[in-house]
Structure 1
Amino acid sequence: MKSMVIGGIILIVALIAGTYIVAGDALSSDISVENSLTFLGAIAIITITVFVALKYVNQIKNDTASGELADENWDGIGEYKNPIPTGWGLAFIGTIIWLFWYWTIGYPTNGFSQIGQWNEEVNDYNTRFASKFENPSEDTLVAMGESTYLVQCAPCHGVDAEGINGKAHNLTNRMAKDQVEYIIKNGANNFANAYPAGMPPMMLTEQADIDAVSSYVAGGFKGEQPAAYAVCASCHGADGKGMPYVGPNIVEYDDAIVTTVLENGKKGSIGMMPNFKGRLNPTQEKAVAAYIRSLGE
C-alpha cells in the first residue's frame, strides 16, 4: 500500500505540473482570480481522482465480500446491503455544495463573460461611430462606401463592380438591357416594407415593346420615350425616379433602392442575393449607395 501511495503522489505532482505547463500563463491574465480558482479546482479533481482510484485498487486486491445479502437475486447472483462508501458520499455532497458556491459566489452567472465584454465593446464602437459620422459629407460617404463595398460586395460583383463575367449584377450602369428585360418578363421582389405591391411579371407582353422600353431604360432615359413606357410610368414615374412605397428609382442607385436591396436581398437572373441586414449600419448602407453612384459618374 505504501508504494501505491508514493506512486499516487508522484502521479499527482506530474499531472499538476503538466497542467501548469499547458495553462499556467492564464494565471497572469486579466481574469487571474477566476483562472486561479479554476486551477485549484483542477488540482482538487486530480488529487481526489488519484486517491479514490488507489483506494479502490487496494480494495480490489485485498478486500473480501461481506455483509447481509439482499433478498433479490438474478440467476443466483445477488448483492450485499452495504452502505455507500463514506468517501463517495462526502465527495457527492461536497460537489453539490461546490456547485451552488460556484454559481453564486465563485463565478456568478451574471459576472464577467467574454460575450458580454464583446457586446459592450461593439455597442461602444457603434455609439462612437454614429457620433463621428452623424452628418458625413458626400466625399466621406464615397470613401466609406468603397471600403465597405470591397469587403462585403466585391466577392460577387467584382472589384471593378462589373459583375465578374456577368455572374452578378453590373453596378457600373443603372441596368443593362438584358437585366431590364428580365425584370419586365419575370417581375421583381416584393419588398414588404419599401415597395409592398412588388412588380408582377409581363407588364408588357409584346416583344417589340419590351425591347423598346429595355433599351430606353438601360440607355439612361435618353432619346424619345417609347409609348409603351406609359405602363411603367404608373409606378416608376414619367422621369423614372420612382414613387415612395410604389416603385423604385430606375434612373440611378438612390439610397432607398440600395438600402432596400441590402436589407432584403434580391432575386435576379443568376440567383438570389442574400440580405445584409444587421451586418451594415444605416450610415454604411448610405455609403455603399454613394459609392455605387460614383461608379456610374
Structure 2
Amino acid sequence: MKSMVIGGIILIIALMAGTYFVAGDAFISDDYINALTFLGAAAIITISTFVVLKYVNQMKNDTASGELADENWDGIGEYKNPVPTGWALAFIGTIIWMFWYLTVGYPVTGFSQIGQWNEETNDYNKKFEQKWVNPSDDTLKAMGQSVYLVQCAPCHGVDAEGINGKAQNLTKRMSKEQVEYIIRNGANNFTQSFPAGMPPMMLQDDKEIADVSAYVAGGFKGEQPTAFATCAGCHGENGEGMPMVGPNIKVYDDSIVTAVLKEGKKGLIGQMPSFNERLNETQERALASYIRSLGDK
C-alpha cells in the first residue's frame, strides 16, 4: 500500500505540473475565477487519485462481508453496505459548491463578456435604427450594396449573376426553367410570410405551363396567356402579388426579399439557408432596394 501511495502522490504532482504547464498563464492573471478553477482541478485530481487507490487496495486485500439483500439476480446478490463516507461527502460537497459558485463565487448576475457584447450590440442596433429610420432611395441602395457584398456575393457573385449557375441570378426575377419548376413542384416554404403556399401542378397542360413560364420569365411582356388567370388568383393580374397570399413574381419587392432572408428558399438550383435575425429591417429593405436596382441594367 505504501508504494501505491507514493505512486499516487507522484501521479498527482505530474498531473498538476502538466495542468500548470498547459494553462499556467491563466492562473497568474488577476481573475480569481481562474485560481478557483485551478484549485478545483487540484481537488479533483487529488480526490480521484486517492479514491482509485483506496478501491484498488480494497479489491486486492478486502473480502466481502455483511448482510445480503433479499433480492438477487441469477443467484448473484448484493450486500447491504452503507454508502461510502468519502463518496457521500464528495456528493454533498459538490452540491454545496454548486450553490456557492452560483450565488457568491461567480453569480449569474455577475459580469459576462457575452452579456456585455449583447448589450453593446442591442445599443448599436437601436442607434442604427434611429439614424436610418427614413433613409432615401440612394442611401438604401448604397447600404444594400454593402450588405450584399458581405452576405450574398459569396454565392451569388459580385455581379449578382450567380457563380457557375449554382445560385440565383439576381439581375432578373426568374428564368423560364425556374418558373416551370415552381409550377410543377409548388412552393410552400414561405410559411410565415405567405402561409397559403402554392401546391404543385396548378396547371396541368404542358403547353400552358410553357406559355405561362415564358410570359413570367419575360417580364410580363406581350400577350398574357389565358392560363395565367390561374396564377392571377394569388399573384394578382400584373404579378405583383397579394399580402400573405402570393409573393410578387414580377420584381424583387421588399416582402419577397424579406421572406427569402427569413425562411430560406428551395428551388430548381438548390437550397438557400435562412438568414433570419442576421440583418435588421432597415438592412433587409436596403438589400431589396439594391437587388431591384440590378435589374435596371
Q: TM-score, normalised by structure 2?
A: 0.72
Partners in 2 of 1:85 and 1:235 — Cα distance? 73
Cα deviation for residue 105 of structure 1 reads: 2.0
Secondary structure of 2:163's partner?
helix
- 2:212 aligned partner: 213
CA distance in 2, matches of 1:215, 1:110: 61
| 1:77 alignment partner in structure 2 | none
Distance 2:124 2:86 in 1: 53
AA in 1 matched with 2:194: Y
The equivalent of 1:76 in structure 2 is none
Unaligned runs of 5+ in 1: 74-79
Shift of 1:27: 3.6
Distance in 1 of aligned mates of 2:202 and 2:212: 11
The verdict on how the C-alpha distance between 1:126 and 1:81 changes in structure 2, with shifts beyond 3 A counting, is same
- Deviates most, 90-99 or 211-220: 90-99
CA distance in 1, matches of 2:95, 2:243: 63
**Cα 1:2–1:175 shift into 2, 3 Å:** closer
Q: Structure 1 residue 259: deviation in Å?
A: 1.0
- Partner of 2:226 in structure 1? 228
In the alignment, which residue of structure 2 is the partner of 1:159?
A: 158
The CA distance in 2 between the partners of 1:204 and 1:133, in whole Å, is 44
In the alignment, is the contact (CA less than 8 A) between 2:143 and 2:286 conserved in 1? yes
Kindly indicate whether the alpha-carbon contact (under 8 Å) linking 2:166 and 2:270 is maintained by their aligned counterparts in 1.
no
- In structure 2, what residue type is equivalent to 1:241? E
Alignment of 1:52-201 (within 5 A): 70=66, 94-95=93-94, 97-189=96-188, 191-201=190-200
Give the aligned residue type for 1:182: Y
Q: Which amino acid aligns with 2:21?
A: I
Distance 1:173 1:153 in 2: 16
> Which residue pairs with 1:286 in the alignment?
285
The Cα RMSD (Å) is 4.3
Q: Cα offset for 1:106?
A: 2.0
CA contact (8 A) 2:66 2:81 kept: no
**Maintained 8 Å contact 2:216/2:249:** yes
Equivalent position amino acid for 1:170 in 2? N
3-state SS in 1 of match to 2:164: helix
Q: Unaligned 5+ residue runs, structure 2?
A: 70-78
**1:87-140 superposed Cα distances (whole Å, 9 cap, x missing partner):** 777666655544443343223344444544443344334333333433333333
Distance 1:237 1:246 in 2: 10
CA contact (8 A) 1:265 1:275 kept: yes
Structure 1 pair 273–51 and aligned structure 2 pair: CA distance change class (3 A): closer
Say if 1:274 and 1:102 are closer, same or farther in 2 by CA, change over 3 A. Answer: closer
Q: 1:205 and 1:26 mapped to 2: Cα distance?
A: 69
Q: Specify the alignment match of 2:34 in structure 1.
A: 35
Q: Is the 8 A contact 1:190 1:197 kept in 2?
A: no
| 1:49-73, Cα deviation, whole Å (9 max, x unpaired) | 6777888999999xx879xx64559
Q: CA deviation at 1:194?
A: 3.1
Question: Which stretch of structure 1 is more off in the superposition, 20-29 or 109-118?
Answer: 109-118
The aligned counterpart of 2:74 is none
Q: TM-score, normalised by structure 1?
A: 0.72
Write the letter of the residue equivalent to 2:26. A
Read off the aligned partner of 1:107 and give its amino acid letter.
Answer: Y
Report which of the two structures shows the higher radius of gyration computed on alpha carbons: 1
Q: Out of 287-296 and 204-213, give the one that drifted further.
A: 204-213
Amino acid at match of 1:277: N
Q: CA deviation at 1:176?
A: 1.7
Q: Deviations over 1:172-210 (max 9, x none)?
A: 111222222333344333633433433344444444444
